[in-house]
Amino acid sequence: MLKLRPGGWSIAERLFVSAAFWSVLLLMIAGVALTTVYRGVTERALDERLGVYLKAIVSDVASPGDDAKLAPGQLGEPQFELTRSGWYWQVTRLDVEPSDLRASRSLFAARLPRLPDAERGATERRGYVLGPDDRRLRLLERDIDIGDEGRYLVQVAADAAEIDNQVRRFEWALGLTFAALALALVGTAALQVSYGLEPLRKLREGVGAIRRGEIDKIRGAFPADIAPLAAELNLLVDANREVVERARTQVGNLAHALKTPISVVLNEARASDAPFADKVREQVETMTRQVTYHLDRARAAARAGAVGVATDVEPVTAALARTFEKIHRDDPRDFQFVVSEGLRFRGEKQDLEEMLGNLVDNAGKWSRRCVLIEAAPATLASDERRYLQITVDDDGPGLTPEQRLEATKRGRRLDESKPGSGLGLSIVTDLAALYGGALALEDSPLGGLRARLTLPAT
């Protein structure tokens, strides 16, 4: 899916990838936003807890009496009594030198740092500092001035790992939840794309069935936005059939229109023994062959443009093999054929018969004992459409590369001792080209000539 095919991704792939991408991206953004909000909530909860201790210490410091205040355990938090527990309080008198200092037992002769200067200025401040053992602490501090009894800095700190641990647990829970949600959304997107594009798939299958000759028009109910397209395609198929039929009719009319005057000229020439009449007769016969050739080609061009025409290859091949065995019964040849099951030519039956018939006829004339016909599906590296390949091999003398090139030219006959007009291979070449196929002449494994015919398949 990551590698782009010629023409890019399909509509289904585009819709699925875009839906999956935006779903995952929005979930990631939501996850980051929720984690940030949760971290803020967790910080405020710890700040409120520290604020309670800070108020208790400030109240104790501001109370009249001696300085020996805040007895151990008075704050109700045992971690203030545990050495380097991460929970600390400290009271510093600022108006005497050296500063008078009182602190929780958990500090164990260490001192809490003050918040950075950038965060100072307010009476009560909060932030993060690096405490004993290079531990990251969440610190609340407040300046209090109690007149003649002095100015004090009261600080309460807790290990910031509590916030990090809670946020980490939240991220795991949120990640697992969002991962399950992402899978559900991606699956839902796949189902939506599959269900939403089902009418287009049905339409594509219908067009493919018409092209293969299985049906004559698209049938079935389609949604309101697809139904007009299906109707237009049916009209297009009908219009194509009308154009083909009209072309056939016009070619037939032309053939009949030419047939009579050519016959009259030929009969008049045959009635005279003059040299001029012989020349006229020769040219008229040549003209007849050329007219027949081009009319046949015009008919083939019209048929090649038809939509929804397909021909089974095996019956045509079998019939031709039987026919040519009978033609050569005085000089027997073995006409063998192997055709892949279900192979179908995307075109008219009579065109396949003409192309294959010319090749088998040519092979039969030049073979000594055997002609082998094979037909199988084929693929072209530069084309994703379906093709079939028919090879006709004989065990005759074969042709040189130069002779092969000459053999496909119209009217060229390499051996006048064999019957024919010299149009057979050129007709095959022209017909194959009309269908988007090709004819190639090669050396045969049987020792003679191989004709390789490539044609479109269904």
**Could you give the angle at which helices 227-270 and 275-304 cross, rounded to 10 degrees?**
170
> Which neighbouring-strand residues pair with 375?
339, 390
What pLDDT is attached to residue 422? 44
Within 71-163, strands assigned E span 88-93, 100-103, 124-130, 136-145, 151-159
Nearest to 430 by CA among 307, 344, 320, 303: 303
What pLDDT is attached to residue 44? 93
Give the pLDDT confidence of 333-370 residue by residue, as tens digits: 889 999 999 899 988 888 899 899 999 998 988 898 89
What pLDDT is attached to residue 418? 47
What pLDDT is attached to residue 170? 94
pTM, two decimals, is 0.51
Q: Which residues does 299 contact at the CB level (< 8 Å), separation at least 6?
A: 248, 251
Q: Give the whole-angstrom CA distance, residue 274 versus residue 262.
A: 19
Q: Which residue has the tokens 């016969």?
A: 285
Do 440 and 359 form a contact (C-beta atoms < 8 A)? no
Residue by residue, pLDDT tens for the chain (458 residues) are: 444 454 567 788 888 888 889 989 999 999 999 999 999 999 999 999 999 999 888 888 877 655 445 544 467 778 888 888 889 999 988 888 777 788 888 888 888 998 876 455 567 888 999 988 888 999 999 988 887 778 888 999 999 998 999 999 999 999 999 999 999 999 998 898 888 888 888 888 888 877 776 777 888 888 888 888 888 888 888 887 777 777 777 776 776 677 777 777 777 777 777 777 777 777 877 777 777 766 666 656 555 555 567 889 999 999 999 999 888 888 878 899 999 998 999 888 888 998 999 999 989 888 988 999 999 998 877 667 789 999 999 998 888 888 888 777 654 544 444 444 445 688 888 888 888 889 999 999 998 999 999 998 87
- CB hemisphere CA count around 68 (13 angstroms): 0
Q: Phi and psi for 156 in degrees, rounded to 5?
A: -130, 135
What pLDDT is attached to residue 421? 43
What pLDDT is attached to residue 300? 60
Query: Dihedral of CA 287/293/299/304: which sign?
Result: negative
Q: Which residues does 109 contact at the CB level (< 8 Å), separation at least 6?
A: none
